[in-house]
Amino acid sequence: MISFEMTDEQREMRDVARKFTRNQIIPAASELDEKAEMPVNIINNAFKFGLWNLNLPEKYSGMGLDHLTEAILLEEIAYGCLGVCGAWAGNSLGLTPILLAGTEEQKDRWLYQFGKEPIFAAFCITEANAGSDVSAVRTQAKRVGDEYILNGVKHFITHGGIAQMHTVFARTGEPNSGTKGLSAFLVSKDAPGLSMGKLENKMGDRASHISEVIFEDVHVPVRDRLGNEGQGFKISMQTLDRTRMCIGAAAVGVARRAYEEALEYSKQRIQFGKPLFKQQAIAFMLADMATEIEAARGLVWHAAWRMDSGDADPKLGAMAKLYAADAAMKITVDALQIFGGYGYMKEYPMEKLMRDAKILQIYEGTQQIQRIVISSRITN
């Protein structure tokens, strides 16, 4: 029997995350956005509360959550601030390749540190000319004896340069080898030659750390390659097939926050002699928001449920990300419209929610890429 009811444990964890968000994230979100600061204190407190390392196995002192429970918690955290949620989602993204393709020896050697303190992981694939087109990656990994020497620059990397573990996708094949020439490597932030480049100044999502990562003759032992040479593209795609659901969950959180803020405001604001929510034009906007949020959450939960059932469907993950991100963008714009001029002012949360929502349509594959993923599977 299919059920949309959370288990008692999931409901309890959601309530803990919801309380944490209201007490610690929401009060700090505006200042973090204004200053473009990483939420270090919030992350430290999350670690103490046991709300960090969502997908890190319990063997390494992580939460070891199933995908559905992870989606439930990410929705709550993103409700408070998408930029803050980026630290959680960024770690899940950075850890997923080693969870999928790492040997037990690699996992034991790299993952134990994540359970000891709140540190970061990074997923390093994007470059100046290699965003949607992964085949255009130019970072080189030249094998010399029992190690590889990495050279190149990665762009727009969450936790770039500050992550204890960088999962790096580099070319081991010829320059024109396309996706077949990519391999994946685990690189410590302390590796000589690894440095942080430009810290990005973003429109929204400003509490997340996004930067360049520079590799200059970085030596990586062969034992720190994930899988075999040439398997990097496969590992990266398998990773994104699983983590796009996380972006969908975060989008639901942003959309829900905008909707609830607009709904509350519409009850208080009197126009033409009655509250806004009793004006049909506004009531219909709110009805559409509520419907789109439920539909988006349903897709996210379906994608997560399929992964937890051992039958991950890349199409569903792409659908969840596509629909939820588009819904979040539309809902934040419409919610700001309900606030009118006040929504445009920084003293209200609406303009931040709208700025944050846009990145949901871009990172971990643009909406156009999601449509490619979906169409390639429905036409085969």
Domain total of the chain: 3
Domain endpoint, select from 185, 213, 229: 229
Domain endpoint, select from 115, 145, 167: 115
Buried (b) or exposed (e) across 207-242, using 16+ Cβ within 10 A? bbbbbbbbbeebebeeebbbbebebbbbbbebbbbb
Q: How far is CA 160 from the centre of its chain?
A: 14
Q: How far apart are the first and last CA of the chain?
A: 29
With respect to residue 3, please indicate whether it lies within any of the assigned structural domains: no
With respect to residue 330, please indicate whether it lies within any of the assigned structural domains: yes
- Average per-residue pLDDT for the chain: 96
Instruction: Based on the fold, state whether residues 67 and 98 are members of the same structural domain.
Output: yes
CATH number of the domain enclosing 286:
1.20.140.10
Instruction: Based on the fold, state whether residues 30 and 139 are members of the same structural domain.
Output: no
163 within 8 A of 178, measured Cβ to Cβ: no
With respect to residue 74, please indicate whether it lies within any of the assigned structural domains: yes
Question: Is pLDDT of 250 > 80?
Answer: yes
Cα 139 from Cα 374, distance rounded (Å): 29
Which residues, including other chains, have CB under 8 Å from residue 131's CB and lie 6 or more apart? Answer: 156, 366
With respect to residue 27, please indicate whether it lies within any of the assigned structural domains: yes
320 within 8 A of 370, measured Cβ to Cβ: no
Instruction: Based on the fold, state whether residues 152 and 219 are members of the same structural domain.
Output: yes
Cα 294 from Cα 67, distance rounded (Å): 18
Largest Cα separation within the chain, whole Å, is 80
With respect to residue 1, please indicate whether it lies within any of the assigned structural domains: no
Question: Is pLDDT of 375 > 70?
Answer: yes
CATH number of the domain enclosing 99:
1.10.540.10
**Gyration radius of the chain's alpha carbons:** 21
Q: What pLDDT score was predicted for residue 186?
A: 98
Mean pLDDT over 226-251 rounds to 97
Instruction: Based on the fold, state whether residues 109 and 125 are members of the same structural domain.
Output: no
Instruction: Based on the fold, state whether residues 362 and 314 are members of the same structural domain.
Output: yes
Instruction: Based on the fold, state whether residues 107 and 133 are members of the same structural domain.
Output: no
Mean pLDDT over 96-105 rounds to 98
Question: Is pLDDT of 176 > 90?
Answer: no
Can you give the length of the chain in residues? 380
26 within 8 A of 81, measured Cβ to Cβ: yes
Which residues are tagged catalytic? Answer: 364
244 within 8 A of 313, measured Cβ to Cβ: no
Question: Is pLDDT of 58 > 80?
Answer: yes
With respect to residue 43, please indicate whether it lies within any of the assigned structural domains: yes
Residue with tokens 């996992």: 107
With respect to residue 2, please indicate whether it lies within any of the assigned structural domains: no
Query: Containing domain of residue 368, as a range?
Result: 234-378
For 265-275, the pLDDT digits (tens) are 999 988 999 99
Q: What pLDDT score was predicted for residue 144?
A: 97
Mean pLDDT over 72-89 rounds to 98
Residue 1 binned pLDDT confidence (cut-offs 50, 70, 90): low
For 342-365, the pLDDT digits (tens) are 999 999 999 999 999 999 999 999
Question: Is pLDDT of 169 > 80?
Answer: yes
- Give the closest residue to 85 by CA, choosing from 34, 39, 31, 35: 39
Q: Does this model's pTM top 0.75?
A: yes
Domain endpoint, select from 204, 229, 254: 229
318 within 8 A of 245, measured Cβ to Cβ: no
Q: What pLDDT score was predicted for residue 2?
A: 73
* 67-80 helix and 8-20 helix, angle to the nearest 10 degrees: 20
Which residues, including other chains, have CB under 8 Å from residue 151's CB and lie 6 or more apart? Answer: 139, 140, 142, 215, 216, 217, 218
77 within 8 A of 85, measured Cβ to Cβ: yes
Give me the phi and psi of 215, to 5 degrees please.
-120, 115
With respect to residue 258, please indicate whether it lies within any of the assigned structural domains: yes
Q: Which two tokens stand for residue 118?
A: 């709140």
Q: What pLDDT score was predicted for residue 175?
A: 86
CATH number of the domain enclosing 221:
2.40.110.10
Residue with tokens 């727009």: 156
Neighbours of 126 (CB within 10 A): 21
Instruction: Based on the fold, state whether residues 224 and 276 are members of the same structural domain.
Output: no
184 within 8 A of 97, measured Cβ to Cβ: yes
Question: Is pLDDT of 310 > 90?
Answer: yes
For 278-303, the pLDDT digits (tens) are 999 999 999 999 999 999 999 999 99
For residue 371, what is the enclosing H or E element? helix 367-378
Instruction: Based on the fold, state whether residues 104 and 136 are members of the same structural domain.
Output: no
Instruction: Based on the fold, state whether residues 163 and 277 are members of the same structural domain.
Output: no
